[in-house]
């Protein structure tokens, strides 16, 4: 199958066939190449491989056939020229940020970041002489105001965790291009199906494949996608020499996840929209944020940059922490867990878990209150999930 034929495939097709490397045995399902190394017919062949004169694998820290299939399939889905798969989402985020910068550079990031991403930007990068400014990313003038002569990178997540704010990626990219900075988008919450950051002008996209891409709560993984030139010049050597490589077994699991990604994301988004409408009408709910509802604060941006809603819902119950805990504890079907994107519906109380390390002020800035809950909608029947929530809300009320 030629590469060009693959380019014209719709996502559903790419996700089943993209990047497949079939061995001489003609297996239907992708093989798991659990090998560290590769053998050469002759010493001359080894020499040629190391010189880059012949194609082939050298060592699985650099590349592995199963991992290669996952990278190629992700490229086909994202419309990216190249990718590197990594052992976790955080390995991918850290690589994307550190490989874009050097001492003396400045990064502007939206302050509504996944906790570990915020640590990398706010705590790790400054140790190496990289300054960071965090802004309310929903207003483009804040990005503009934070720019310094040495600003080299803009970093954002959209929709954000946990309050599902949406940032205008095209506007941030235009600003970045004016000052010669790059834009890295952590696209986990949108999924590669609902939002295409590269098409919107971003330069680098990162995923925690742990979330919707696996989608069944099994293994960690991450991926960085960009143009071939950036990867060759900035990421390639870092990746080979620092060793964040993805295990071939996990790559295989993620390949299987990709096959069903569109079905799952579509179903979970459809259910989430129904649940959001149900929650919005309840008197026990003080606030509900769902990308896809017309009352979302950035509904206009969503209409421009996202193809669909979200599999996540953010809502506040009246009665603060006590009510939020009572609701969580009264649920029978929805599980208490800080993960997301799983086939199982999961609820989390950000103030005491994912965002517990922030000060009260920082949490308030992000719109995380004592009554805030984040619900990741799974593959269960939407009616069953609504019944579970209804019963638990009555228990609280
Ligand atoms: C989970 C997550 C990460 C980190 O991914 P891991 O696979 O857990 O390392 C980064 N960004 C976002 C938005 C996430 O949801």
Query: Which residue CA neighbors atom 5 of ligand 1 most closely?
Result: 89
Q: Is the pLDDT of residue 5 over 60?
A: no
Residue 241 has a pLDDT of 97
Q: How confident is the model over 349-356, as a mean pLDDT?
A: 95
How far apart are alpha carbons 234 and 131 in whole angstroms? 19
Secondary structure of 171-231 as H, E, C letters: HHHHHHHHHCCEEEEECCCCHHHHCCCCCCCCCEEEEECCCCCCCCCCCCCEEEEECHHHH
Cβ within 8 Å of residue 322, ≥6 positions away:
none
Q: Is the pLDDT of residue 379 over 80?
A: yes
CB atoms within 10 A of CB 263: 13
Ligand 1 site, residue 157, Cβ cutoff 6 A = yes
Residue 7 has a pLDDT of 66
- Label residue 3 by pLDDT band (50, 70, 90): low
Cα–Cα distances in angstroms (integers) from residue 176 to residues 98, 154, 234, 252, 380, in the given order:
18, 7, 18, 36, 41
How far apart are alpha carbons 222 and 212 in whole angstroms? 11
Query: Which residue CA neighbors atom 7 of ligand 1 most closely?
Result: 89
Query: Which residue CA neighbors atom 6 of ligand 1 most closely?
Result: 89
Nearest atom of ligand 1 to the alpha carbon of 221: 7
Q: Is the pLDDT of residue 295 over 50?
A: yes
Residue 29 Cα to ligand 1 midpoint, Å, equals 28
Residue 214 Cα to ligand 1 midpoint, Å, equals 12
Domains, in order of start, for the chain: 3-257 (3.40.640.10), 262-396 (3.90.1150.10)
- Label residue 1 by pLDDT band (50, 70, 90): very low
Q: What are 261-277's pLDDT values in tens digits?
A: 999 999 999 999 999 99
In angstroms, the first-to-last Cα distance of the chain is 60
Q: Is the pLDDT of residue 6 over 90?
A: no
Residue 211 Cα to ligand 1 midpoint, Å, equals 7
Please answer whether residues 163 and 314 qualify as being in contact, where contact means their C-beta atoms are separated by less than 8 angstroms: yes
Q: What are 23-42's pLDDT values in tens digits?
A: 999 999 999 999 999 999 99
Percent of the chain with pLDDT over 90: 95
Q: Closest by alpha carbon to 121, among 89, 97, 102, 91?
A: 97
């Amino acid at each position: 199958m030629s590469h060009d034929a693959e380019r014209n495939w719709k996502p559903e097709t790419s996700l089943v066939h993209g990047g497949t490397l079939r061995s001489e045995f003609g297996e239907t399902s992708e093989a798991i190449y659990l090998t560290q190394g590769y053998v050469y017919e002759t010493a001359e062949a080894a020499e040629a491989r190391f010189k880059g004169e012949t194609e082939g694998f050298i060592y699985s820290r650099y590349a592995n056939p199963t991992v290669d299939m996952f990278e190629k399939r992700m490229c086909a889905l994202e419309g990216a020229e190249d990718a590197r798969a990594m052992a976790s989402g955080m390995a991918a985020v850290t690589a994307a940020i550190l490989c874009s910068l050097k001492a003396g550079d400045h990064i502007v990031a939206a302050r509504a970041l996944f906790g570990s991403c915020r640590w990398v930007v706010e705590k790790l990068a400054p140790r190496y002489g990289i300054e960071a400014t965090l802004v309310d990313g929903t207003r483009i003038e804040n990005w503009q105001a934070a720019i310094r002569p040495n600003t080299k990178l803009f970093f954002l997540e959209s929709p954000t965790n946990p309050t599902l704010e949406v940032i205008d990626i095209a506007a941030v990219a235009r600003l970045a291009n004016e000052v010669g900075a790059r834009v890295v988008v952590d696209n986990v919450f949108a999924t590669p199906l609902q939002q295409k950051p590269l098409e919107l002008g971003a330069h680098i996209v990162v995923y925690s494949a742990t979330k919707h891409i696996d989608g069944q709560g099994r293994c960690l993984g991450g991926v960085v996608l960009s143009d071939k030139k950036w990867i060759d010049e900035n990421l390639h050597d870092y990746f080979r020499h620092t060793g964040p490589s993805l295990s071939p077994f996990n790559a295989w699991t993620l390949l299987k996840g990709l096959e069903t990604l569109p079905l799952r994301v579509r179903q979970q988004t459809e259910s989430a929209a129904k649940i959001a409408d149900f929650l919005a009408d309840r008197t026990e709910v003080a606030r509900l944020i769902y990308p896809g509802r017309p009352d979302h604060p950035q509904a206009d941006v969503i209409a421009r940059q996202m193809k669909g809603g979200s599999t996540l819902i953010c809502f506040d119950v009246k009665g603060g922490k006590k009510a939020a805990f009572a609701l969580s504890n009264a649920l029978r079907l929805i599980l208490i867990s800080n993960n997301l994107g799983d086939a199982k519906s999961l609820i989390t109380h950000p103030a005491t878990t994912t965002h517990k390390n922030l000060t009260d002020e920082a949490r308030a800035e992000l719109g995380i209150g004592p009554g805030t809950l984040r619900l990741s909608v799974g593959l269960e029947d939407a009616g069953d999930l609504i019944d579970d929530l209804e019963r638990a809300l009555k228990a609280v009320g």
